[in-house]
Amino acid sequence: MRRPADEELMRAVQDGDVDAFEVIVERYKLVVFNLAFSMLRSREDAEDAAQDTFLKLYRAVASYDPSRLLEPWLLRIAGNTCRDRLRRRAAAALPMVRDDEAEDLSQAIEDPRAEAVFGKQATEQAVRFVVEQLSERLRTPLLLKYVNGLTNAQIAAALGISLSNVKVRLARGKDLLQRQLERVLES
């Protein structure tokens, strides 16, 4: 059976063929992931960036030029996606947590200013207080990930929700946690 060229697949996607897009994802998911991992140094961030890359590719399918190769365009999208994530990471007050680190939630959101002022125990106490104030919907995925060490897929299975929903809840939970923790530590 003949392997369809990228250009053929992209034309099919432009015509609304979702199966053709799945073939493209299967063909390039490892390349995109490896690029993202090499830039982000975090498996979870790389998975998220790869997913975002393919979403951006799908949204931009109408602007695809079949006279140009798909792979360089796709890798440029992936690189830009990773650079955006790195900029957000650098701008964030909270350090990113890698999957391979067995850190608890208090270490994942530790604020260096609080460490200097209150010390580690006060920071951990503030984190516990703020975590308890979160809604169950946001608190549970955070605790499963950062305290129990579950992966996003395991959290999705445990809570009976989609993987993307887990990622959304984690992102919202960390954002809310950061804002509330900053308020608590400032007072």
Q: Answer with the one of 32, 56, 91 that is the final residue of a domain.
A: 91
Q: Is residue 133 part of a domain?
A: yes
Is residue 101 predicted with pLDDT exceeding 50? no
Say if residue 10 is in the same domain as residue 78: yes
Given a cut of 50, whether residue 48 has pLDDT beyond it is yes
Q: What percent of the chain has pLDDT over 90?
A: 35
Tell me the C-alpha distance between 163 and 140, whole Å: 14
- With a CB cutoff of 8 Å and minimum separation 6, the contacts of 56 are 77, 81
Is the four-CA dihedral 102, 108, 113, 114 of positive or negative sign? Answer: negative
CA dist 141 and 152 (Å) reads: 8
Task: Report DSSP state, residue 111.
Answer: -
Residues 74 and 114 placed together within one structural domain of the fold: no
Examine residue 97 and state whether it is found in any structural domain, yes or no. Answer: no
Does a structural domain hold residue 100?
no
CATH number of the domain where residue 153 is located:
1.10.10.10
Calculate mean pLDDT across residues 159-176. 88
pLDDT higher than threshold 50 for residue 8: yes
Quick check: is 44 in a domain?
A: yes
Q: Are 14 and 49 contained in the same domain?
A: yes
Alpha-carbon distance of 132 to 126, in angstroms, equals 10
Q: Are residues 31 and 77 in the same domain?
A: yes
Higher pLDDT, 111 or 8: 8
Q: Check residue 119 and give its pLDDT.
A: 62
What are the tokens at 81? 């996606």
pLDDT in tens, 108-156: 555 555 445 446 676 777 777 888 788 878 877 887 688 767 688 877 7
Residue 49: pLDDT over 70: yes
Domain final position from 91, 113, 140: 91
> Which of 91, 115, 135 marks a domain boundary?
91
Question: What's the chain's length in residues?
Answer: 187
Examine the pLDDT at 94 and tell me if it is beyond 70. no
Between 38 and 151, the more confident residue is: 151
User: 34 with 74: CB under 8 angstroms?
Assistant: no
Number of folded domains that form the chain: 2
Domain span at 173? 105-186
